[in-house]
Amino acid sequence: MDAEKLGVLREALDVYDVDRREELLDDHESEITRFLMRLGAYDAPYARHDGPEEEYRDWNGAVVGRGPSARLREPIPADPTLPAEELAPLAEWGRYARQLVIRHPAAPAALLKRIVPGADPQMLLDIALHKNADIDLFALLAHDERSDARWAPAASVRCPLAILELLAGDHDPRVRLKAQGNRSLPPRMQWLTDTLDVRRIFASHPLAPPEMAAQLAGDADALVRTLVAGNPATPASVLAALANDPVVGVREGVASNRITPASTLADLTTDPVTSVRIRVACNPHATVEIWTALGLDSDASVRAAVASSTAPPELKARLARQLRRR
């Protein structure tokens, strides 16, 4: 592409000149237009509302509104076979040109690295999410002095575990929290003393190891303990201990947890708080003995919970008969 065409191309890649790029589409055979199409400059639908006003009608012909007519174009996806060397010059151009490089499926990690130093937060995130990002690129972002650059790999599920572990100890709490909440990162005990938000994340984490649940069950924050109580990953021994928690919401969590052992549910049938007993009655893993005890509860709302539970129909009928004889 000669200097004159490169000048037109740079003009067309001005982020503020969308209409100029659309005008170039009128000549599908030009070298510039073909390159823009392969580059992904037309990967979003286009509507230009500059025509005469027209009527909008529903399916049976009634006018439901009026507005400008639109010239529509469907998205034209980027060409994944575009050679990397043709993308390379754009890495030094304006913001929109660099965005197209970052979004392009053929952009190699080496080219993405060149864009990192001057990239804004959104561009940094797109770089970290790129399918061609490699461990060297993630490392470059993780060691950047800008917190936005370090936050980007922390948000990517493709970030290598070693780098996520590094970011989980970052001095910036925003980066640290993002890395610790990354679903690709297994929970780690050393983070339990971190911020309250982090402890709450791991209290409900489906992969939380038993020792983590045991430690968080003694947390000073009631919501942390409540989340542990409702977590299906929490061990039975921890749930049994939480069944005696002074906070009602924690005991409700234990009563509702589908993996709470029947012995612990049985202990909760005598809980002084009605809402706890109702949750025991609604637990699908309650036993006949538990439903029998709650079906004769002094509180009508508990008995109603048993009546609408998954208890066997014959048991419900027997309990109803016993109540009528009272």
In Å, how far are 9, 44, 70 from 76, measured between CA atoms? 18, 7, 18
pLDDT of 254: 98
pLDDT of 103: 94
Same domain, 157 and 131: yes
Task: From 129, 151, 185, give the residue that closes a domain.
Answer: 185
User: CA-CA distance, 164 to 311, in Å (whole number)?
Assistant: 47
Prediction pTM value:
0.54
Same domain, 197 and 175: no
Q: Per the domain annotation, does 80 fall within a domain? A: no
Q: Per the domain annotation, does 46 fall within a domain? A: no
The total number of structural domains in the chain stands at 3
- Secondary structure (3-state) at 30: coil
Q: Per the domain annotation, does 35 fall within a domain? A: no
Of 112, 98, 103, 104, the C-alpha closest to 141 is 112
Range of the domain at 156: 108-185
DSSP per residue, 296-309: T-SSHHHHHHHHTS
Provide the 8-state DSSP code for 271: -
What average pLDDT values come out for the chain (326 residues) when binned by 10 residues? 79 73 78 90 72 58 60 81 94 92 96 96 96 96 96 94 87 88 67 67 83 88 96 95 97 96 96 96 94 91 92 88 78
Q: Per the domain annotation, does 226 fall within a domain? A: yes
Q: Per the domain annotation, does 58 fall within a domain? A: no
pLDDT of 238: 96
Give Cβ neighbours of residue 242 (< 8 Å, ≥ 6 apart). Answer: 217, 225, 228, 229, 234, 250, 251, 253, 254
Q: Per the domain annotation, does 32 fall within a domain? A: no
Longest CA–CA separation in the chain, Å: 98
- Secondary structure (3-state) at 64: strand
Which phi-psi region, left, alpha or beta, contains residue 177 (left: φ > 0; alpha: ψ -120 to 50)? Answer: alpha
In this structure, which amino acid lies at residue 243? A
- Secondary structure (3-state) at 68: strand
H/E stretch holding 112 reads helix 109-115
Q: Per the domain annotation, does 155 fall within a domain? A: yes
Same domain, 164 and 211: no
Give Cβ neighbours of residue 96 (< 8 Å, ≥ 6 apart). Answer: 13, 14, 15
Same domain, 221 and 231: yes
Task: From 243, 260, 277, give the residue that closes a domain.
Answer: 260
**CB count, 10 Å around CB of 290?**
22
Q: Per the domain annotation, does 126 fall within a domain? A: yes
Same domain, 252 and 267: no
User: CA-CA distance, 249 to 222, in Å (whole number)?
Assistant: 8
pLDDT of 125: 96
